[in-house]
């Protein structure tokens, strides 16, 4: 029927809302703290230079803010459990449980068999962007990182400035390899699907000082690439396009904070846990003679 809006495949109900979104009052309080410099203590801050990547640690209960201090710039973010990097951000399931583009209140979930929130988004200065005139939204889970393999495939060029390559270099000091890099959340990136279902990207709308903040539900290793496509206003393929995109590239800011009065604020909160699935995927120990 024309005009019909299909129901979500993973609907939010009164029973599962606390699981999908946690304690909304608590996260609203944390969100307010994240925007108040007097309510938090800076643990670490740095800028990720253009066309590069960096990894860092965020401990459970801490806040992490990604920002655009110099204007529009897209960032590709990977997240791992610090104690077990096999547990990593799962973009596809997060997209199903929440939406194709995430914002305040949504959680960033880990892969199987862990399946728990790694982080909860508590701050986003671009919430008013909404849906633009061509159906684009910000903070994308539809796509993934640019990489030298697809670039070679489509352009024939060897070009090393790619988000995948930036992330590979970023995690090497932590004992990880290229095989550990996974689908990203494209922070500050506007994307959508056109009428033919084709993926499209629009120019980044961020201004100096825009931010995206998440709360760590467990100890995390994060890695961020400042996309070599910059703000995506002249995105294209091949070496010539890469040269034009350079003028649109800007650093991204990263800051990690501890909340003041943390014990009081987080009273009743506990580190996220795996689902208590005890099955064996239908596999049973054979009983001889049956």
**In this predicted model, what pLDDT tens digit does every residue of 46-98 receive, in sequence order?**
999 999 999 999 999 999 999 999 999 999 999 999 999 999 999 999 999 99
- pLDDT for residue 283: 86
CA–CA dist 216, 220 (Å, integer): 7
Give the residue among 91, 66, 81, 105 at the shortest CA–CA distance from 218: 81
Q: Please compute the mean of the pLDDT values over residues 224-234 and round it to a whole number.
A: 96
CA–CA dist 258, 116 (Å, integer): 22
Is residue 168 a contact partner of residue 181, using CB atoms and an 8 Å limit?
yes
Q: Please compute the mean of the pLDDT values over residues 174-192 and round it to a whole number.
A: 98
Q: Is the confidence at residue 232, as pLDDT, over 70?
A: yes
Three-class SS of the chain: CCCCCCCCCCCCCCCCHHHHHCCHHHHHHHHHHHCCHHHEEEEEEEEECCCCEEEEEECCCCEEEEEECCCCCCEEEEEEECCCCCCEECHHHHHHHCCCECCCCCEEEECCCCCCEEEEEEEECCHHHCCCCCCCEEEECCCCCCCHHHHHHHHCCCCCCCHHHHHHHHHHHHCCCHHHCCCCEEEEEEEEECCCCCEEEECCCCCCCEEEEEEECCCEEEEEEECCCCCCCCCCCHHHHHHHHHCCCCCEEEEEEEECCHHHHCCCCCCCCCCCCCCCCCCCCCCCCC
Q: If pLDDT is split at 50, 70 and 90, which confidence band does 290 have?
A: low
Q: If pLDDT is split at 50, 70 and 90, which confidence band does 204 have?
A: very high
CA–CA dist 7, 45 (Å, integer): 42
Q: Is the confidence at residue 241, as pLDDT, over 80?
A: no
Burial of 264 (0-12, 13-18, 19+ CB in 10 A): exposed
- pLDDT for residue 242: 75
**In this predicted model, what pLDDT tens digit does every residue of 11-23 receive, in sequence order?**
999 999 999 999 9
- pLDDT for residue 288: 64
Is residue 94 a contact partner of residue 108, using CB atoms and an 8 Å limit?
yes
User: What pTM did the predictor assign?
Assistant: 0.95
Tell me the percentage of the chain whose pLDDT exceeds 90: 87
Q: If pLDDT is split at 50, 70 and 90, which confidence band does 211 have?
A: very high
- pLDDT for residue 155: 85
Q: Is the confidence at residue 227, as pLDDT, over 90?
A: yes
Longest dimension (CA), the chain: 73
- pLDDT for residue 31: 98
Give the residue among 146, 177, 140, 148 at the shortest CA–CA distance from 249: 146
Q: Please compute the mean of the pLDDT values over residues 223-227 and round it to a whole number.
A: 98
**In this predicted model, what pLDDT tens digit does every residue of 123-182 receive, in sequence order?**
999 999 999 999 999 999 999 999 999 989 988 888 888 999 999 999 999 999 999 999
Angle between helix axes 148-155 and 163-171 (nearest 10 degrees) is: 160
Q: Is the confidence at residue 99, as pLDDT, over 90?
A: yes
Q: Please compute the mean of the pLDDT values over residues 23-34 and round it to a whole number.
A: 98
Q: Is the confidence at residue 4, as pLDDT, over 90?
A: no
- Sign of the torsion angle spanned by Cα atoms 147, 151, 153, 156: negative
Q: Please compute the mean of the pLDDT values over residues 14-37 and round it to a whole number.
A: 96
Q: Please compute the mean of the pLDDT values over residues 210-215 and round it to a whole number.
A: 98
106 phi, psi to nearest 5 deg: -75, 155
Sheet containing 252-259: order of strands: 40-48, 252-259, 63-68, 210-216, 117-124, 107-109
């Amino acid at each position: 029927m024309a005009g019909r809006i299909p129901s979500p495949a993973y609907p939010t109900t009164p029973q599962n809302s606390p699981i999908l979104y946690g304690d909304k009052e608590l996260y609203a309080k944390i969100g307010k703290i994240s925007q108040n410099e007097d309510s938090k203590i800076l643990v670490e801050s740095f800028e990720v230079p253009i066309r590069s990547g960096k990894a860092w640690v965020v401990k459970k209960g801490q806040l992490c803010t990604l920002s655009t201090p110099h204007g529009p710039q897209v960032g590709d973010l990977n997240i791992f459990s610090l104690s077990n990097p096999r547990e990593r951000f799962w973009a596809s399931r997060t997209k199903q449980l929440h939406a194709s583009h995430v914002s305040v209140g949504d959680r960033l979930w880990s892969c199987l068999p862990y399946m728990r929130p790694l982080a909860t988004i508590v701050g986003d200065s671009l919430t008013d962007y909404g849906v633009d005139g061509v159906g684009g939204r910000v903070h994308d889970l539809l796509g993934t990182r640019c990489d030298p393999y697809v670039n070679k495939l489509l352009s024939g060029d060897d070009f090393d400035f790619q988000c995948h390559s930036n992330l590979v270099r970023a995690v090497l000091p932590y004992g990880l390899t290229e095989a550990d890099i996974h689908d990203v959340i494209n922070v500050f990136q506007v994307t959508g699907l056109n009428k033919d279902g084709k993926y499209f990207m629009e120019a980044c709308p961020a201004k100096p000082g825009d931010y995206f903040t998440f709360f760590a539900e467990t100890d995390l290793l994060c890695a961020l690439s400042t996309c070599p496509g910059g703000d995506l206003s002249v995105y294209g393929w091949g070496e010539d396009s890469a040269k034009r995109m350079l003028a649109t590239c800007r650093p991204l800011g990263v800051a990690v904070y501890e909340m003041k009065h943390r014990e009081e604020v987080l009273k009743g909160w506990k580190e996220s846990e795996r689902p208590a699935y005890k099955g064996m995927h239908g596999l049973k120990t054979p009983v001889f003679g049956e």
